[in-house]
Structure 1
Amino acid sequence: MSRDNRHASSWLIGESIRETYQGVGCEFRPKDIVADIRKQYGIQISYDKAWRAKELALGSIRGSPEESYNTLPSYCYVLEQKNPGTITDIVTDCDNQLKYFFMSIGASLAGFHTSIRPVVAVDGTFLKAKYLGTLFIAACKDGNNQIYPLAFGIGDSENDASWEWFLQKLHDALGHIDDLFVISDRHGSIEKAVHKVFPHARHGVCTYHVGQNLKTKFKNPAIHKLFHDAAHAYRVLEFSFIFGQLEMIDPRAARYLMDIGVDQWARSYSTGKRYNIVTTGIVESLNAMLKNARDLPVLQLVEKLRNLLQKWFVTRQQQAMSMSTELTMWADGELRSRYNMSATYLVEPINSKECNVNYVGISAQVNLDTRSCTCRQFDLDHIPCAHAIAACRFYNISCYTLCSKYFTTK
C-alpha cells in the first residue's frame, strides 16, 4: 500500500485480463477492470491505469493500429490472388498515410451481374478505432430478399471528395448498368456524387429517413402515417388522395415533401425501377451487425467483412440447393399470398392477352404480354399482382413464368 513499493504495471494488468478480450464485441470497460482487479486481488487501481491496461491487452491480441495499416497492402494483394475478380484499392496522402480504401469481392460482383436487382443502397457509418474514419457500404437485396453486400470503402469522413471517390470506384467495378437505381439518405454529398458518377442512373431517397425527419420537424403522428401510405402507394390516383389529406392537415409538411421531390420518395412517381426496395434498411442492418467490428483496427475490420461474406455465400448456396420451388422462398410466399387474394376475382377478356379484372366494384386492366396492370403493382414489383394472377388462371398460363428472373431459385 506504500508508495515506496512497486505497484502492478498497466502491462501486467493488461496481460492478466487479455483473455477477456478474445473475440469481437467484449464490453469489458475500464471501470469494470477497476472493479474486477479490486475483487480478485484486493488492489485499488486508477481509471487511467485500467484504460492503459485495456489498450495494451487489445494491442497484444489485435496488434497495433499502425501495424494494421502497414499490413493492409499485402492483405489486399493476397485477397485478389485468392479471390478472382476481387477489386481493391488503397490511396495514401503525401505523408504516406491511408486516405481511402475500397474492396469489392469477386463473388459479389459476379452475382450482382447475373442474379441481383440493379438497385443499390449506399450509406456511411463512423469507425471507432484509434484513427476513426468512416465506413462506406454499398448493398443490394438478393432474390430471397436478404442483404447482399456489394462493396465497402473507408475514408476520412462523409464529404464530397470521399463519396465521389467511393462511388467512382464502385462505378469502375460494376461498369455501365442499365436501369441502375441508387437509394440513399438525403446526405448532400451522396446526391452530388451519384449525379456526377452515375449520370444515367436514377436516384431516390430512403422513405424511412424522410419519415423520421417529418416526425422531428412536425411532431404529428397522423402526418407520418399519411406520408408512409402515400410513399408506398402504387397508383398516382391513390397517392393524390392520400397526399391531399396530408396537405389539409398540415400544408407546411406537404410543402416540405414537395420540395424534396415527389419522384425521389413516392413509389407511384418513381422514374426508375425500384422494385420493392424503398429504404436503405439493408445498409442500416449491416451497420448494426458491424457495430462491434467497427472498434477493430483496419486490417481486422476488413478480414471480418470478408469472413462475413464467405459465411453468407456458403449458407445461401445451401439454402438455394434445398429449395424445391421455382421461385425463392420469399418470392414464392409473396406469389402465394397474392394467389389466395385472386380466388374471387372476376375476369372479363378483351383479347387473348388482355382482360379486365373486377373485385367488389373495383376493376383493373391486365396485359400479360407487357406484364402490366393498371394497379401498377405488377409493373413496379415485377411479381404478378392478384389481378394478373386471376388473368393467368383464366388463360391457363403459369404465373411463375411472368416473374422477374431475379426472384428465381436458380
Structure 2
Amino acid sequence: MVDGEFTMGMEFSSREAIIAAMKDYNIRKGVDYRVYESEPLTFYAKCTQYGSGCDWLIRVSMIRRKYCWVIRRYNGSHTCTRATISQDHSKLDSNTIAEAIKPLVESDPSLKVKSVIAEVQSKFNYTISYRKAWLAKQKAIEKIFGGWESSYETLPIWFEAMYHKEPSAVVHFETMPVYQGDDLVTDIRVLQRVFWSYYPCIRAFRHCKPVVQIDGTHLYGKYKGSLLVAVSQDGNNNIVPIAFAIVEGETSDAWHFFLNNLRQHVVTRDGVGLISDRHDSISSAISRSNGAWSPPRAFHMFCIKHIESNFLRKFKAPYLQKLIVNIGYSRTVREYELHYQRLQERGEAYTQWLNCIPREQYALAFDGGYRWGHMTTNLMEYINSVFKGACNLPVTTLVKETFYKLNELFTRKRTEAEDRINAGHIFSEHVTSKLHANQRASGNIQVNCFDRQSQVFEVREMPNGVEYNVDLGRQWCDCGEFQVDRIPCRHVFACCANRRLDWQVYVHEVYKMDQVRRAYRARFRPLGDPATWPAYHGPRFVPNPFLRRVTKGCPKMTRFLNEMNTQMLRAPRRCRQCGGEGHSRSRYR
C-alpha cells in the first residue's frame, strides 16, 4: 500500500486478508465503513458518511484464474472526519487485537490485560475496554496453542502416548458422566480431575529430603480450576517438583484426591514432613486420609508466613509480626519460651490464639526435625511463578509445559552434579560452604568430654562463656542446628577435633553429591511424532460447563487476598488538627 492507500488492481491472498487490511486502514484514519455486500466471491463496503460529504467505497472480488482477491473499484481516500472523538473504534474488535498481540502472548502467556490495553494504545491510539482486551488475549492464546475445548479432547491422547513411552509414570483421571436428556452418553466424559507424576520425579524423591510442600494456583483461561503441585528439595537446595493435578478448585475433595494419589504413588516412605498453608480444605483432606498423612507415617506442619498473616488479620497488630515469626524459628525450647513470654507480656489474647495451634506444627523447637529447617512454603511460591504463564494456557499445553520444563531442569541439574563429582567434590555446594563456616567458627570453643564411649560433651564458647551439651551418638546439640540441618554445627566440629573424630560421618547422606546425582539419574523420554503414537480407544473428554468463565462483563477475580498480598495494614487515621484518632481534619469539631 503506497502511502497507506489502496489502489485499483491490488491483490490479496484471501478474503480475511483484505478485511484485515480494511480494518487496519480505517482504524488508522479514524473513520468507519459499513458493509453493503458480503458474498463468498465479493466484498463491497462504503464509508458511513457516504453521500454526506464522503465518497469512499471499495469493491473486492475473487479472481479464480489468479487464486486471489483483487480490488475492482476504489474511489480514493476518505474526505470525511468523525463527528465525535471516541476512545474506541467499532472495527477494533477482539479478533483484530488478537492478531496484533500474538507475538507478545506467544513469548509471555501470563501477559497482563493492562499490558494488552497499553499495547493497543501505543499501536492503534485507542483505549479499549478491559473485557475486549481479555477476550483478545484468550483468542490469541487459542490461535497459538489450540482451542480450549479441543485441548480437553487431546489430553487423554497425550497422556496415553506418554504412558506408552514410560509405563512407570502415574496418571489418574476422575470423570463424570454426560447425559443427553435422560440418556447416558457412553463415549463422552466430563473431565473433573487429573493427577500425574513423571517417573523421573518419582525416582528423584527417593534421594531428596523427606519434606514435601504443597500448594495450589488458579487457572486463568477460559475454564476455571486450580493446578495443585507438590515439591521437594535435593541436598543442594534445588527445587524438585514431584507431582501435579488439575482440579475444579481447592476443595476438600480435590485435596483428598491429590494427597491420596501422592501418598499412594510418589511419597511412599514414612517419616515425611508435609508443609502447607492453614487452608481448611487441606486439614480436612488430611483427616480423611486414614492415617496416611498423620504421625508416625507423616507429620503435617504449617508455613510460618501464613500463621503470621492469620495473626495479623485477627489482631491488626503489625508490630507483633516479627515476634510471631521469631517464635516459629526458635531452634531451642529456651529460645521459644523467651519469645513466647514476650508475646504474652503484650497481651494474653495473643498467646491464647497461638495456643490453639499445636506448637509442633509451627515451631522448630518442637517439630522433631521433620521440617529440615523449612519454615515456609517458599519453594511452592517459586514453582507457582515458574508455571504462572502455563496457567493461562489450555490444559494439554499446560501439561506439556510441565513435561518439557522438567526435562530441561533434570538435564541441567544432572550435568551440574556430574561436573561437581568429576571435580572431586564430596558434598553439595550449599553444604560445603556452610561446613567451612562452621569449621572456622569452632576455633574458640572449649571442649570437656563427659562420656567417651557414648560421645557426650560439654562445650563452652569463648569469650561469652555460653555452654552447650553435645551428644554425637544421638546427633544432638543444644544450639539446635545439628538436629535441624543434619550437618555438624560449630560445636560438633570442636568435639570432633578434640577427640580426633571424622566429622564427615555426621553429614547426612542426602547432602552427598552422589545422592544429588542419583536424584536426576532417570531421564525423560521424547514422545516422538504424534503419527507414531498408539491409537486411543477411550472416551472423548469435554470440559465441565459449570467451570466456564462468564461471557459478559468484566472477569471477576476469584483469588482471596490477605495481608500477604496487600499493603501493610495502615495505622489508625489521626486528625492533623488535634491529633485524635477516628476522624480527619475536615471532620474536626
| TM-score past 0.5 threshold | yes
Contact 2:117 2:128 in 1 (8 A): no
Higher helix share: 1
The residue aligned with 2:108 is 24
Output aligned runs, 1:221-232, within 5 Å.
Answer: 221-232=318-329
Give, in angstroms, the shift of residue 246 of structure 1: 1.0
The match for 2:564 is none
What is the alpha-carbon distance in structure 1 between the residues aligned to residue 97 and residue 323 of structure 2? 57
Q: Distance in 2 between matches of 1:129 and 1:46?
A: 18
Coordinate RMSD, CA, aligned: 2.3
Residue 355 (str. 1) matches residue 451 (str. 2): no
How big is each residue's C-alpha offset from its partner over 1:269-324, in whole Å with a ceiling of 9 and x where there is no partner? 11452111121111111112222221111111111111111111111112212224
Matched, 1:372 2:476: yes
Deviates more, 1:173-182 or 1:300-309: 173-182
TM alignment of 1:140-151, pairs within 5 A: 140-151=232-243
1:81 aligns with 2:156: no
- Which residue in 1 is equivalent to 2:124? 38
Give the C-alpha shift of residue 34 in structure 1. 4.1
Q: Which amino acid aligns with 1:22?
A: E
Change (3 A) 1:328 1:66: same
Deviates most, 76-85 or 341-350: 76-85
Aligned residue number for residue 313 of structure 2: 216
> Matches of 2:483 and 2:127 in 1, distance apart?
69
For the residues of structure 1 that align with 2:467 and 2:196, how far apart are their CA atoms? 50
User: Structure 1's 35 and 78: CA in aligned 2 closer, same or farther, altered over 3 A?
Assistant: same
1:36-70 deviation line (CA, Å, top 9, x unaligned): 5535xxx9988776655544332221111111111
Q: Is the 8 A contact 2:97 2:120 kept in 1?
A: no
For the structure 1 residues 58 and 234, does the alpha-carbon distance in structure 2 shift closer, same or farther, using more than 3 Å as the test?
closer
Structure 2 residue aligned with 1:261: 358
- SS of equivalent residue, structure 1 residue 94: strand
Change (3 A) 1:287 1:47: closer
Partner of 2:143: 60
User: How far is the alpha carbon of 1:219 from its aligned partner?
Assistant: 3.5
Runs (5+) with no aligned partner, structure 1:
none
Aligned residue among 188, 191, 197 for 1:104: 197
- Among candidates 267, 271, 274, match of residue 371 of structure 2: 274
Q: Hey, what's the Cα distance between the residues in 1 that align with 2:320 and 2:94?
A: 56
Question: CA-to-partner distance for each residue in 1:163-219, whole Å, 9 max, x for gaps?
Answer: 101101101113641211111100111112223322331111111111122233334
Larger radius of gyration: 2
Report the Cα distance in structure 1 between the residues aligned to 2:284 and 2:92, rounded to whole angstroms: 55
Report the alpha carbon displacement of residue 76 of structure 1 after superposing the two structures with TM: 0.9
The alpha-carbon deviation at position 141 of structure 1 amounts to 1.4
Give the counterpart of 2:344 among 231, 244, 247.
247
Give the alignment partner of residue 397 of structure 1, picking from 501, 511, 517. Answer: 501
Whole-Å Cα distance in 2 between the matches of residues 131 and 169 of structure 1? 24
1:80 and 1:67 map into 2 onto residues whose CA distance is 21
Once the 2 structures are TM-superposed, how far is the Cα of residue 329 of structure 1 from its aligned partner? 0.7
Q: What is the percentage of aligned positions where both structures have the same residue?
A: 29
SS at the partner of 2:356?
helix
- Give the aligned partner of residue 290 of structure 1: 387
TM-score normalised by the chain length of structure 2: 0.65
Q: What amino acid is aligned across from residue 367 of structure 1 in structure 2?
A: D
One-letter amino acid of the counterpart of residue 302, structure 1: V
8 Å CA contact retained: 1:34, 1:46: no
Counterpart residue identity of residue 101, structure 1: V
Q: How many residues align?
A: 406
User: Counterpart amino acid of 2:370?
Assistant: K
Gaps of 5+ in 2: 1-31, 36-44, 47-90, 179-188, 515-589
1:3 aligns with 2:100: no
Tell me by how many angstroms 1:148 deviates.
Answer: 1.2
SS at match of 1:343: coil
- What displacement does 1:235 show? 1.2
1:356-386: per-residue Cα shift (whole Å, max 9, x none)? 1111322112122222223332122211121
